[in-house]
Amino acid sequence: MARPAAVWINVFFRFFAALAYFFLGYYIGFWSEFQLGILLDMPTTFWLGILFMLYGIFRIWRAFLYVSETKDPDYGNYED
């Protein structure tokens, strides 16, 4: 069964948001000059960047799961 266009649009926006989180984390963790202090001998911005990057990877995984759930032949059919 072919997936509707709405599913592909949804997946595109999910993937775009995931990449945005990942690259925002990369910028915050490794390029930002802003100082928030030190935590465990590393700048806090490094830890925040890693957190954003992990959240981006999590969102990519969730987008993949969303696509794999739409393979079900009963997707979109509801019983009363």
Per-residue pLDDT of the chain (80 residues; tens, 9 = 90+): 677 888 889 999 999 999 999 999 999 999 988 787 887 888 888 999 999 999 999 999 999 988 888 877 666 677 76
Structure confidence at residue 49 (pLDDT):
94
8 A C-beta contact, residue 63 and residue 20: no
**What is the spatial distance between Cα 16 and Cα 57, in angstroms, rounded to a whole number?**
12
**What is the spatial distance between Cα 71 and Cα 36, in angstroms, rounded to a whole number?**
45
pTM of the full structure: 0.78
Structure confidence at residue 79 (pLDDT):
76
